Amino acid sequence: MPKVLITGTSSGFGLITAVELARQGWTVIATMRDLAKRGQLDRALQSAGLTANVTIAQLDVTDPQSMDHILADLDLEKRGLDAVVHNAGVAVGGAFEDLDEEGPRRVMDVNYFGVLALTKRLLPIFRAQRHGRIVIISSESAFAGQPGNSPYCASKWAVEGWAESLAYEVEHFGIEIILIEPGAYPTNIWESSPRILPKDSAYLPLMRHLEVTVEAYVAKVARDPADVGRVVAKALAARRPRFRYAVGSTAKFLHFTRGKLPSTAVRKLLGRFLRLDRVRW
């Protein structure tokens, strides 16, 4: 059976993807930073009768020792690995001026530098076996800026630029890179992410407006997050996978407009969509 390592599987897309790939016959190494949060995944696997297909292990993508330990503990250099799904991610909401330095650094450490660090450790394995697929759960946030979400957008823009560049370097070794770009889906990342909103913030009217507008939009149009797990499985099963898979209506729209419209036009469209003209400063 093919083997895949997935990060951030305690909830959200990571959990869904672990269950979906196990269902489709993959041997899954489901990792998470805090094993105390494995309960939801355990229950999902037990309900589906898939516990035998999945190994749950601790992995913190911001901790070099944690990454080295899992490679050694699972003996991946000898036993091989067919794919990795980079899903671990964090966010912090708020106007940029209101954020301290630690919040954006944490977002970049997990969403960007964590992907680079783990990939660098896995590339020798993929090169030696002359195949491997690197799947990155990106976001529609990589297509256009979003008010109140600048660190997250920056991390996704960064990881996509890195992925485009790395693809040139590794294709000779049979290594393929795949970007999965979901739109609005109800996952735990937004519930668990801090929202910085000081009472004396100069941006308070805008942030209050976005809280209401964005939450109403997500509640209205968000689809089943299982869509993302199915797209990951489809990409991994494809003989010749695409480089990008936009998932969801808004992601597909932004994917279509990318490079076709000036940034100012996209910003005006997004401003109208978010009804920013109704903000009372």
* DSSP per position, 141-201: GGTS--TT-HHHHHHHHHHHHHHHHHHHHHGGGTEEEEEEEE-S---HHHHHS-B---TT-
- Give the closest residue to 104 by CA, choosing from 203, 179, 194: 194
Using an 8 Å Cβ cutoff, are 129 and 170 in contact?
no
pLDDT of residue 94: 95
Q: Which two tokens stand for residue 90?
A: 């964090």
Among 152, 185, 203, 245, the active-site one is 152
pTM of the model: 0.93
Burial class (CB in 10 A: 0-12, 13-18, 19+), 32: buried
> 114-129 vs 150-170: helix axis angle to the nearest 10?
20
Low-confidence ranges of the chain (pLDDT < 70): 186-191, 221-222
Rounding to the nearest 10 degrees, give the CA dihedral for residues 50, 51, 53, 54.
Answer: 120
Residue 248, pLDDT score: 86
H or E stretch including 252? helix 249-257
Active site residue 168: no
pLDDT at site 261: 83
Give the CATH superfamily of 3-278: NAD(P)-binding Rossmann-like Domain (3.40.50.720)
Closest CA to 96 of 202, 189, 184: 202
Please provide the DSSP assignment of 53-79 as one string.
Answer: GEEEEE--TT-HHHHHHHHHHTTHHHH
* In the chain, where the domains are located: 3-278
Pull the structure tokens for residue 103: 């919040």
Can you give the pLDDT at residue 249? 82
Backbone angles phi, psi at 197, to 5 degrees: -145, 75
Asked whether 67 and 59 are in contact (CB, 8 A), the reply is yes
Given this model, what pLDDT does residue 151 score? Answer: 97
User: Buried b vs exposed e over 111-130: b needs ≥16 C-beta within 10 Å?
Assistant: bbbbbeebbebbbebbeeee
Place of tokens 């964090």: 90
Burial label for 51, CB within 10 Å (0-12, 13-18, 19+), is: middle
